[in-house]
Amino acid sequence: MAAIVGTSVWGHWSSLGSLDQNQPRYELFEAQLHTFERSNDLCNAMNEFPLRPSPRDRDRNPRWNQAHGQQTPIILRNATLFDGESVLSDPMDLRLEKGLIVSIAPTGSKPAGDHHQGKSIIYDLNGRFVTPGLVDMHSHHSVMAWPLLEPSTDDVNEILTSWGPITPFVRSWESMKTNDVAYRIIASGGVTSSLILPGSGNIMAGEATAVKNIIASGELGEALVEDTLLEHGIPPKQRHRYMKFAWGENPKNLYKHTRMGNAYILREQLTKGQALLDKQSDFCLALRASSGSAQQKARFIEQKGAFPSDLSLESTVALLRGRVAMHSHVYLPSDIEVLLQVVGEFGIKPRALHHALEAWQVPELLKSLGENITIATFAEFGLYKWEAYSPRLSAASILADHDVPIAFKSDHASPELNAKYIIYQAAIGHSYGLPANKALQAVTSVPARAMDLDYRIGYARPGYDADLVVWDSHPLTIGATPLQVFVDGNAQLKAADVRKSMGETFTDAPAKALNLSPPMRQAVNATAMEALCSVAKHPSAENFIVTGISRSFVKGHPLLPETYSDLSGTNLTLVIDHGKVACLGSEEDCALAASRLLSQGSDTTVQVHLSNGHVLPGITAVSSSLGMTELGLEPSAGNGVPNPASPIARDPTHLDYAKYGVQLEGKAFRRARLGGVTRAVSPPLAMGGFSIGVSVGLRTDTQRTLLDGGVFKDDVALHLAVDTPAMMSHGTISAAVQDLRRNLKDGLGCLNDTAYGDVARGKMPLLIKASSHWDMQQVIAVKRDFPSVNVVIIGGGESPLVASELHKFGIPLILTENRWAPMDFRARDTLIGPPMTPSVAHSLREAGVKFAIATAGMMLPADYRLHALPLEAAWAAKFAGLDDTAAVDLVSRNVEEILSLPRSRDIVIWDGNPLDMGGSVALVFEEEQYAGQVSGDNTEGQADGTAAKRYGLKVTSCWPGEEGN
């Protein structure tokens, strides 16, 4: 092009004199023409958007290469296929070639392109579930690489005072690190594609990019960032672009502006962008009118200059043109409203609102924009700050009922938000009312659509990328785990690792036909429930007949005969006569007890029939903050948080006692009741440090107070940390261990009257937080040298490495890190769990170590998952080879025995199996004092000979919900 232009104008310049005399003017003219052409290219590029080919027309995966792409065709035979929209009715065969799905056909037919079957690798799936590769549209892996070492591997937020909260010009892929072990971990959970976003510190935080979770897949076979990009193989100018916004608390708190200040700052930035956009548009209009002769072009550049540009505004202008898609972090309805208003002034429509825990309150607002906005949210996460104080477990169902697209995402960075387990969020969403197809769409096709990539990912159909997951069970069941994951047609899991990790759970073929309709919590007629519960919870209600029970797990319960054994059947019956268990057995065995009650008049007996009842003891939780704070990140919303660096933090005579600051109310209590949790052990809050304090045993019935039974044990255990947090008070782990040893020794001397004295004499358990196996070895040595101390470890991520020693010295665990991750450098050998490694629970069971399950191992002190304790127990039991009775023990009897707690006298009746996603608490019976002075077997005589107080079982919760019970 330049050579042609130069020749065409040579005559003009040669007529003016010699070449040497006119060389500078000629070079200027050439530069002006070059600037014109470049400006013209930029003007044309303003209207260029990424191509969106029809999947039917796709005959190649742009990421495929000869060196490391899929070489051999793969056939997945006899699959139960969810294709991104629904589960297909027939078993299907899928053929994958060069990173694409090339055909799908019913098993037994001959799909197109199957003539090379002899050269194919064939997987006979025996009816197992296959889904598209999962899509996580909100992750921070590789920009916050594991193990996380701040600031070395943390590049998620661009915080610079001089730039302020507007940094749209930074790009996440320029902070990505391919040595992040999370890539493989995430892929092992079936997540094949992720959107990597900057953090939420800034109003405009920067550009995000989509990746495939596979390393060294490019032509060179090296761990290059470019090769991880989902659109690798597509010219950079044709790739999709995404802008991360953050609205609400985060930028407000970081930069100290008010919300109205942030609105001005955003409006100011968009106004600057709009001014540049208008200038560019006017420039391009004039340029096109001046595209005649070379002289006209040169004169235009001389008068107008080059295409108007500003590097700091480029991405903002692209956003205004619709070239960059807007994705925003936002929580509150009021913040959603204002954000939509501000960007709407500039014609911007967000593609997705992320987190949005309270969006369920404004579904019609979201719909009013014409084009639905995807809500990318959490299924459970909440209760950790004010913006997250009103979530709903049923939020996805509510939004879906209003036709608002729902996606579940990870926010991957910390272990409890590990993207590996994003399918669990879909399962929880389904459990709380989201239809199964929509739940699976929420981690496949919906996020793919929100990323504008639903023509190549999110579906399992011909022409789509060969990203697929083969599951061991229905993906919406508890503990569902991939048996194989394909990314661009390449298998990611080693068969030997999968078999070893799953242990007894692994089978080559399902033992029975897979359930196409995973369990969901049963909806209860509100009118009927209200009528029943008003009677069941009446102060005078003390007679109950519960039928339709299929299983019981209350052997050894203090209110049952010692000879009682757990039962299973089709119509077991529970009879409670005047607050006392009169019968729990078959319908025939309990007929007499039931008829005796009914003979007194049916109006005095509450009758409940369940479709699949289960009887459990009350669950006992070990919490991180229950009763100590309502909001984990707001110290003022509870008892407060001590400074771990203060001198008093190292003083063993100034221990913090939770009993003096506990509050028996809050939304976490409601979630506890949803999970059948009737009691909890809560330590004082501590955001780091060696000494945490003495925990309290509390009841979760918020109708009680501290003065009438709300606390069932004043002092449960002394909690300490021999772990990374101990450095905040002691500087080193060694100094903390030295203090621990000194304090235990002094417990039999000068600290005799403190909790250390009780611990040293074996009267109070010593609960030590530890994740690293090196720290656990220090704890084991303490037990060896102080054998009378009842040492318990809480945490336990690397405990398999010392499991035999734990068993030898009789040290049990409160296991909070069964599904953990190597985020902490000092605990980077934490077991990943199936399908890559055996689970922590499996290793402990094999070694004979006693353990219980808790959810208190969170990075944030917020007990938002207490409702899921039975599910965590079931998950642990699945891969540890434990039966259902042992699973229930993990959150009841084992907790009581490990912490020397009195046995729970509570009985919880579930409708549905609490160990899968379909269980709902129906009735909670707790032992309480009845009005009146009536003698009988369930009485306690008074020492002074006065009338006995009568105790009995009363209903304290009836079909509890998040709104109350």
Residue 8: pLDDT band (50, 70, 90) is very low
Assign 632 a pLDDT band (cuts: 50, 70, 90). Answer: confident
pLDDT band for position 928 (cuts 50, 70, 90): confident
Characterise 579 by phi-psi region: left (phi > 0), alpha (psi -120 to 50), beta (else): left
pLDDT at 965: 58
pLDDT value at 7 more than 70:
no
Distance CA 677, CA 868 (A): 10
Listed range (6-10, 529-533, 548-552, 569-573) with the worst mean pLDDT: 6-10
954: phi then psi, degrees, rounded to nearest 5: -130, 150
In this structure, of 608-617, 639-648, 773-782, 933-942, the range with the lowest mean pLDDT score is 933-942
* Span 15-22, average pLDDT: 49
Q: Sorting pLDDT into bands at 50, 70 and 90, what band is 949?
A: low
Query: What is the average pLDDT across 788-805?
Result: 98
Least confident among 49-58, 382-391, 510-519 = 510-519
Q: What is the DSSP letter of 373?
A: P
The answer to whether position 509 is within a domain reads: no
Residue 15's pLDDT is: 42
Residues 747 and 858 in one domain: yes
Local structure of 466: helix, strand or coil? coil
Is residue 797 within 8 A of residue 830, CB to CB? The reply is yes
In terms of DSSP H, where are the helices of 798-868?
A: 803-808, 840-847
Residues 707 and 741 in one domain: yes
- Whether residue 681 lies inside any domain: the answer is yes
Same domain, 894 and 925: no
**Is 664 found in the same domain as 711?**
yes
**Tens of pLDDT, residues 365-382:** 998 887 779 999 999 999
Return d(Cα 148, Cα 821) in angstroms, integer.
Answer: 11
Same domain, 612 and 660: no
Q: The domain containing residue 579 runs over which residues?
A: 521-617+906-932+946-965
pLDDT in tens, 396-410: 999 999 999 999 999
Look up the CATH number of the domain holding residue 850: 3.20.20.140
Q: Are 894 and 786 members of one domain? A: yes
pLDDT for the residue numbered 329: 98
CATH code of the domain in which 597 resides: 2.30.40
**C-beta separation of 930 from 641 below 8 A:** no
Cβ atoms of 158 and 198 closer than 8 Å: yes
* Same domain, residue pair 630 and 597: no
Asked, for residue 775, whether it belongs to a domain, the answer is yes
Question: Is residue 571 helix, strand or coil?
Answer: strand
Residue 150 confidence (pLDDT): 86
**Mean pLDDT on 496-517:** 78
Q: Do 780 and 733 fall within a single domain?
A: yes
pLDDT of residue 619: 98
In a domain, 870, yes or no: yes
pLDDT score of 504: 77
Is there a domain that residue 318 lies in? no
Residue 115 pLDDT: 46
Contacts of 710 (CB under 8 A, 6+ apart): 664, 698, 699, 701, 704
Q: What is the DSSP letter of 129?
A: E
Residue 213 has pLDDT above 60, yes or no: yes
Give all strands of the β-sheet with 406-408 in edge-to-edge order: 134-139, 191-196, 204-212, 241-246, 324-330, 352-355, 374-377, 406-408
Q: Is residue 840 part of a domain?
A: yes
541 and 656 share a domain? no
**What pLDDT sits at residue 930?**
63
Average pLDDT score over the chain: 92
Please report which residue ranges of 714-839 form alpha helices under DSSP H.
727-730, 733-746, 755-760, 773-785, 803-808
Q: Output the pLDDT for position 229.
A: 98
Q: What gap in Å lies between CA 24 and CA 13, rounded to an integer?
A: 11
* Residue whose C-alpha is closest to residue 194's, from 2, 396, 447: 447
Tally of structural domains, the chain: 2
Segment 714-743, tens digit of pLDDT = 999 999 999 999 999 999 999 999 999 999
Domain shared by 666 and 766, yes or no: yes
- Reported as a pLDDT band with limits 50, 70 and 90, residue 26 is confident
- Mean pLDDT, to the nearest integer, of 878-882? 97
Residue 137 has pLDDT above 50, yes or no: yes
Percentage, residues of the chain above pLDDT 90 = 84
Render pLDDT for 324-357 as a digit per residue (tens, 0 to 9).
Answer: 999 999 999 999 999 999 999 999 999 999 999 9
111 against 207, higher pLDDT: 207
Q: What is the pLDDT of residue 607?
A: 95
pLDDT per residue as tens digits for the range 426-448: 999 999 999 999 999 999 999 99
Inside any domain, residue 143: no
pLDDT of residue 5: 39
Task: Tell me the C-alpha to C-alpha distance, in Å, between residue 219 and each of 209, 225, 736.
Answer: 21, 13, 51
Is residue 409 one of the residues assigned to a domain? no
Q: Average of pLDDT values for 629-642?
A: 90
More confident residue, 538 or 16: 538
The pLDDT score that the predictor gives to residue 153 is 92
Angle, CA 572 vertex, CA 566 and CA 577 arms, to 5°: 95
Residues 596 and 711 in one domain: no
Q: For the beta carbon of residue 118, count every other beta carbon within 10 angstroms.
A: 5
Q: Tell me the pLDDT tens digit for each residue of 57-115.
A: 999 999 999 999 999 999 999 999 999 999 999 999 999 999 999 999 999 887 544 44
799 and 830 fall within a common domain = yes
277-308 pLDDT per residue, tens: 999 999 999 999 987 899 999 999 999 999 99
Question: Is it the case that residue 525 has pLDDT exceeding 90?
Answer: no
| Spatial contact of 851 and 874, defined as CB atoms under 8 Å apart | no
Give yes or no for residue 945 having a pLDDT over 60.
no
pLDDT tens profile 559-584: 998 888 888 888 899 999 999 999 99
Q: How many Å apart are CA 584 and CA 560, to the nearest integer?
A: 9
Query: In the chain, what are the helix, strand and coil shares in percent, each to the nearest 5?
Result: 35, 20, 45
